[in-house]
Copies of this chain bind each other. A is one copy, B any other.
């Protein structure tokens, strides 16, 4: 089940509402990543409190651990991890692709050895749909091949990108058929591929639109390409997708990328950046990024971001977080992850408000100026 209501638009930017089996999602939305059934270092309750509306799970990882026997016993991922709101799962395609030499891709699917126990495994569009049906995620992603930007210094050619995109297109059909056969009650998204080639992106998009899926993603970005290449594809593809369906830009990105993405017509984002950077002492703030490890914060008794209402900013100082990092204390990444996710979620809340009030363009300019100011 999926319905998408387009509430407002301002040029390409859109304010929408997504209704899924586990609840309602206001868009544009940022989705925290919970690879192994946990958003790293963050309690489910904290996620709810900071207004996370939907989180991700990674099909490949969850297939490996805890495995389908466990997830089946719990009737899916929601009860297993204690999360009641909507969830999206990827297809596993990106992860098997990341295994590099350890996997072999054919028309049928991807053969690989389990990185956990060496078991020989075969991931196909059908298997991906079967796993995601067990996970019972609200949004299921088609199985695709993520077209690389380069392999060992060799830039992917247009011919290679076409071959890859066409494979993903055929896998989209097989995904759809298996999803239907399984009578999965959730919503299947197609993924536009085509590398850095606009014509291929258009072809991929056209073919997927014909399948009339409930939503579409733009994949194959944030795969090591230069930033301007990513921005070029982000400017090209999203607004060409059907206006009455949700659009998801996969794996993007920085706060600036998100705001630009919205301007390009994107409704949904996910990225590990807020949590991963948090664990490395890299914090996002309204006035630019802050490196906690910098010695200048040793005696700084101001909050990370004086305009932020998160659990960290409302109770402790930069000096305290600097200290926790220096001591390798677990509370450091815990508070930093809460702060960064809160920053991302609040940013999207502000984006939605500005769209509601028809002043997104002004917001975007103010956002850029604030971020450039520096902490």
**Interface, chain A (partner B; CB < 8 A):** 36-38, 40-45, 65-66, 69-70, 73-74, 80-82, 298-299, 301, 311, 315-317, 319-320, 322-324, 326-327, 329-331, 333-335
Contact = CB atoms under 8 A, between A and B. Distances in A.
Nearest to A64: B327
B327 A36 contact: yes
Given A65-B326, A70-B299, A319-B74, A41 B331 contact: yes
B299 A329 contact: no
Contact of A74 (B38, B45, B66, B301): B301
Given A38-B329, A45-B315, A80-B316, 20 more contacts: A36-B327, A37-B320, A37-B324, A38-B324, A41-B331, A43-B331, A43-B334, A43-B335, A45-B311, A65-B327, A66-B322, A66-B323, A66-B326, A69-B299, A70-B319, A73-B319, A80-B319, A80-B320, A82-B320, A330-B334
A223 to B, nearest CB: 25
| Oligomer copy total | 2
Nearest to A82: B315
Nearest to A73: B299
A319 B77 CA distance: 12
A298 B69 CA distance: 9
Contact of A331 (B42, B80, B298): B42
Contacts of A81: 316, 320
A297 B145 CA distance: 36
A195 to B, nearest CB: 33
Contacts of A329: 36, 38, 40
11 contacts: A37-B320, A41-B330, A65-B326, A66-B319, A70-B323, A73-B319, A74-B317, A80-B320, A82-B315, A82-B316, A334-B334
Nearest to A279: B330
A353 B333 CA distance: 37
B45 A331 contact: no
Contacts of A45: 311, 315
Given A36-B323, A319-B80, A320-B81, A334 B41 contact: yes
In the A-B complex, list the 10 residue pairs whose CB atoms are closest, starting with the nearest. Answer: A82-B315, A66-B323, A41-B330, A38-B331, A36-B327, A82-B316, A38-B329, A73-B299, A65-B327, A36-B329
A224 to B, nearest CB: 26
Nearest to A322: B66
Given A40-B330, A331-B42, A331-B43, A65 B323 contact: yes
A82 B312 CA distance: 10
A67 to B, nearest CB: 8
A81 B333 CA distance: 15
A66 B192 CA distance: 51
A347 B320 CA distance: 31
A44 B315 contact: yes
Contacts of A334: 41, 43, 330, 334
Contacts of A324: 36-38
A158 B270 CA distance: 66
A24 to B, nearest CB: 22
Contacts of A80: 316-317, 319-320, 323
A329 B323 CA distance: 23
A66 B330 contact: no
Residue of A80, A319, A329 ringed by the most chain B CB atoms within 10 A: A329
| Residue with the greatest number of chain B CB neighbours at <10 A, chosen from A40, A44, A82, A311 | A82
